Amino acid sequence: MTRFILRRLLVTIPVLLGLIFLVFALSRLVPGDPCRAVLGERATDAVCDDFIRRYGLDQPIPVQFGLYLGQLAQGDLGVSIKQSRPVTQLLIERLPTTVELTEFTITPNNYAAQVDETGELRWEAIQKMPMLGLTGLQVPEEYGGAALDSVSAAIALEELGWGCGSTALAIAAHNGLGTTPIVLYGSESLKSKWLPLVSSGKNKLAALALTEPGAGSDLQGGVVTKAVKDGNEWVINGAKMWCTNASIAEYIITLVRTDAKGGSRSLSQILVPTNTPGLRIGPAEKKMGLHGSPTHAVTYEDVRVPLDNLIGEEGKGLQQTLSTLDGGRIGIGAISIGLAQAAFEYAVNYARERKAFGKPIAEQQAIQWMLADAATEIELARTMLYKAAWLKEQARNYNKEAAMAKMFATEMAERVCRNAIQIHGGYGYSSEYPVERIYRDARLMTIGEGTSEIQRLVIARHVLAME
């Protein structure tokens, strides 16, 4: 046994060295100026010269590789360019949190099943997330966020979706809907006051209220919740439905009508703290799935907030909301892929273990084809989603791509989860197996953040140049 272990360790060494060389080579083969890729296009020549000398980029490639190996041998992973601190130190700081979160990630079925059964998020898990940047995915660092790029943020939400749909949706709604309007359009005072508070994970999260009892997709014509000026305050009256995170939110960004004349410039976004008198949050909705993600009706009765709580410009609320929803669709698509991936993995494992007619059902062609279709569709959805996220990061128009990715990923997840239940047979319909819960969680995704039908309209308008 000892000899076997030693042989395996010896085999590992050249593999590890090969991976190290590959990582080094790829970092040197990336086209472009490494200095300006890191520091930005505005970096001066003098700054770049110092950067190149400091990191040994002016040395021959073999010398650079030798220095790289020497640093690794000493446990020196370099210095974080963003934080100007040793990477090893940052990893050590995050290790305890990572270990604690292992409880929630390495055995997601147990955690997700508990959340589903109790109908409550495990706040202790949420409080571990700020160290990993999950409660401020794309919030700038100066306000306590992680300032992740859009692709990385999508990957994070996908992984959360793989672990627990309820937790993933709460975090996605918090990041994509609750913080994005402030990051993109909020005043400096709003950013400084609220973003560090909700990114810390020590208090509550954030929420966005759009839908009303008589208005879902028709925001422009259907929103009747109104806000009128009274001195230095807004007075808000109306009602909202399906507000995710309302009961665990520090504030609710509310879409209101500020111009009774109507039209595309009649709506505005106003930040309403949840402890404001007159704001009432109804009981949690009883839903088919996502039991741990709280969803509520919210009423506003003479709710007064300062005029400074206006987000962006008065009358630009519709445009700001639609832009926010584009990013939110990427988040929903990412969660859907995570759910589908989890269901797919459970189905693969079950197919390998379950025997029928004297052999594993994985050997049946019908089962193989369902798994092959699932693997293909998951990969395709992931590629579409990453493209939309990349376009967003490049500050390019991604409206069509976000709609495509959201529509395909959510409908794909429903198909994959359905077939995962089918592969499990009767057991798949039982709550003792996780695919039943995952299917219920996935079912909302084709409805929230714009139904599949709305996504098709958006796509068609682009295809037909009607936008």
The pLDDT, as a whole number, for residue 442 is 98
The Cα–Cα gap between 415 and 295 comes to: 25
Name 266's Cβ contacts closer than 8 Å, sequence gap at least 6: 257, 258, 259, 260, 315, 318
The Cα–Cα gap between 257 and 229 comes to: 12
Nearest-5° angle of CA 10, CA 12, CA 17? 110
Q: Looking at domain 102-205, which of 3.40.50.720, 3.40.50.10800, 3.30.930.10, 1.10.540.10 is its CATH number?
A: 1.10.540.10
The Cα–Cα gap between 87 and 81 comes to: 9
Give me the active site residues, please: 449
List C-alpha distances in Å: 434 to 99, 250, 298, 439: 24, 32, 32, 9
Read off the DSSP letter of residue 216: S
In the chain, what are the domain boundaries? 16-75, 102-205, 207-317, 319-463
Q: What is the dihedral of CA 306, 310, 315, 318, to 10 degrees?
A: -130
Is the sign of the CA dihedral 145, 151, 154, 156 positive or negative? negative
The pLDDT, as a whole number, for residue 5 is 63
The pLDDT, as a whole number, for residue 47 is 74
List C-alpha distances in Å: 33 to 70, 274, 284: 25, 48, 52
Query: Which CATH superfamily does the domain covering 207-317 fall into?
Result: Butyryl-CoA Dehydrogenase, subunit A, domain 2 (2.40.110.10)
Architecture of domain 319-463: Up-down Bundle (1.20)
The pLDDT, as a whole number, for residue 335 is 98
Q: Judge contact between 28 and 69, C-beta under 8 A.
A: no
Q: How many CA atoms lie within 13 A of 260 on its CB side?
A: 2
The pLDDT, as a whole number, for residue 427 is 95
The pLDDT, as a whole number, for residue 189 is 96
Q: Which segments of the chain have a pLDDT < 70? A: 1-9, 11, 24, 26-43, 77-85, 87, 90-109, 466-467
Give the number of other Cβ atoms within 10 Å of residue 33's Cβ: 13
The pLDDT, as a whole number, for residue 466 is 62
The pLDDT, as a whole number, for residue 11 is 66
Supply 451's token pair.
């139904």
Same fold for the pair 102-205 and 319-463: no
Q: Judge contact between 294 and 281, C-beta under 8 A.
A: no
pTM of the model: 0.80
Q: Judge contact between 221 and 267, C-beta under 8 A.
A: no
The pLDDT, as a whole number, for residue 28 is 66
